[in-house]
Amino acid sequence: MKILITGGCGFVGSNLSLYLKRNLNNSQIFTIDNFTRPGSKIRYNILKLKNIRNFNIDISNYEKVMNLPRFDLIIDCCAEAAVADSIKKPKKVFDTNLIGTFNIINKCKKDKSDIIFLSTSRVYSINLFKKKINLSNIKKKKLNKFSVNESFDTDGRKSLYGFTKLSSEDLIKEYSYSDKIRYIINRFGVISGPWQFGHEDQGFVSLWIISHFLKKNLKYIGFGGKGLQMRDVLHIDDACEIILLQIKKINLIYNQTFNIGGGIRNLISLKKLTNLCENITKNKIKFTQVKKTSIFDIPIFLTNNAKIKKYYKWKPKKKMDLIIKDIYTWTIKYKKIIKKVFL
């Protein structure tokens, strides 16, 4: 099987490429990446050592995508995923996320290949998350009522990033209907792990750990500036494992949409994450409190994994403490590289 992974030198794409190379026998792994993200060339050098070939092209270039060799499966990991870029760089977000998917799905049509599309929890309506939730008074036993399944409302505001990903989902379904393309859509929440060079709007777990290690100050942004907002976190290895299962069962399970996240045991607030980072690094840093909340931010997101568990008998293996440990171990081992990116 020949597999193409778009965004293959990004955090998710590079980890997935290496994981499939190790665990999927008799397969060839290829990537697309044009090295626009911090750390992508560093990850590319790792892929190159494993004989994974990268096509250095822009996914929004139709002709170049269509002229690529034939593939049996395309895994679309490419995205401008920072929600803030919806305001700062709307054309880039639109071109990469929606035009890029248009090009990839037409490549699937040409090749008669399957597609696994990495979507996002950001397709869901911000309005419903904006209901009055007192983060300081949430009881742990009541947290499950906030979990989001695949039937949750996708109407209303969601950011340009969320819009382009939801529109890409619809585009894939239209092509599936008209051209019999088999698809799987994975709406991932927060994914974290080694080789993620995080920043404020994306990859907050690695950002927190690296910032504590380097003694760089951070900000609590929004919801009163207290660090009470919560997300469930999925280890990159768990994300790769479920995609491998989906590949192996593609002839049995397809044309489905799944929510995938760390679940309730990996639900964590920024404040709690700070405490864990202080414990493992033995460093304390200063926090600036920014009380104003972004129009795109939500107080809590908790993934309901019931459907993915039902179809694949799968659930996340790695708990929050292990996610933090893995990122910290990586940070120590590659501190020279990390300092070049962050300092």
Tens digits of per-residue pLDDT, 145-164?
A: 789 999 999 998 888 999 99
The percent of residues above 70 in pLDDT, for the chain, comes to 97
User: How many domains does one find in the chain?
Assistant: 1
- Whether 161 is in a domain gets the answer yes
- Whether 211 is in a domain gets the answer no
Residues linked to residue 193 through DSSP beta bridges, in sequence order: none
Domain with 119 in it: 2-194+235-264+301-317
Is residue 30 pLDDT above 80, yes or no? yes
Per-residue pLDDT reduced to its tens digit, 163-180: 999 999 999 999 999 999
Per-residue pLDDT reduced to its tens digit, 319-336: 999 999 999 999 999 999
- Give the tokens for residue 11: 């955090």
* pLDDT confidence of residue 141: 63
Q: How far apart are the first and last CA of the chain?
A: 41
- Whether 217 is in a domain gets the answer no
Mention every residue, 6+ apart, whose C-beta is less than 8 A from residue 73.
Answer: 1, 2, 3, 4, 113, 114, 115, 116, 247, 250
The answer to whether residues 71 and 111 touch, using CB atoms and an 8 Å cutoff, is: yes
- Whether 29 is in a domain gets the answer yes
pLDDT band at 127 (very low <50, low <70, confident <90, very high): confident
List alpha helices for the chain, DSSP H.
11-23, 40-49, 62-66, 85-88, 90-94, 100-111, 126-129, 159-179, 204-214, 236-248, 270-281, 306-312, 320-333, 335-342
- Give the tokens for residue 65: 């995508």
338 φ/ψ sector (left φ>0, alpha ψ -120 to 50, else beta): alpha
- Whether 8 is in a domain gets the answer yes
- Whether 275 is in a domain gets the answer no
Secondary element (H or E) of residue 186: strand 183-188
Helices 100-111 and 159-179 meet at what angle, rounded to 10?
20
Residue 215 three-state SS: coil
Is residue 144 pLDDT above 80, yes or no? no
* Phi, psi of 14, deg, nearest 5: -70, -45
Question: What gap in Å lies between CA 223 and CA 175, rounded to an integer?
Answer: 41
Assign residue 29 the CATH number of its domain: 3.40.50.720
Is residue 342 pLDDT above 80, yes or no? yes
* pLDDT confidence of residue 21: 97
- Whether 7 is in a domain gets the answer yes
* Mean pLDDT value across the chain: 93
Question: What gap in Å lies between CA 22 and CA 272, rounded to an integer?
Answer: 35
Q: Which of 1-10, 122-131, 280-289 has the lowest mean pLDDT?
A: 122-131
Is residue 82 pLDDT above 80, yes or no? no
In Å, what is the CA distance from 247 to each residue of 20, 42, 121, 312?
A: 10, 27, 22, 11
- Whether 88 is in a domain gets the answer yes
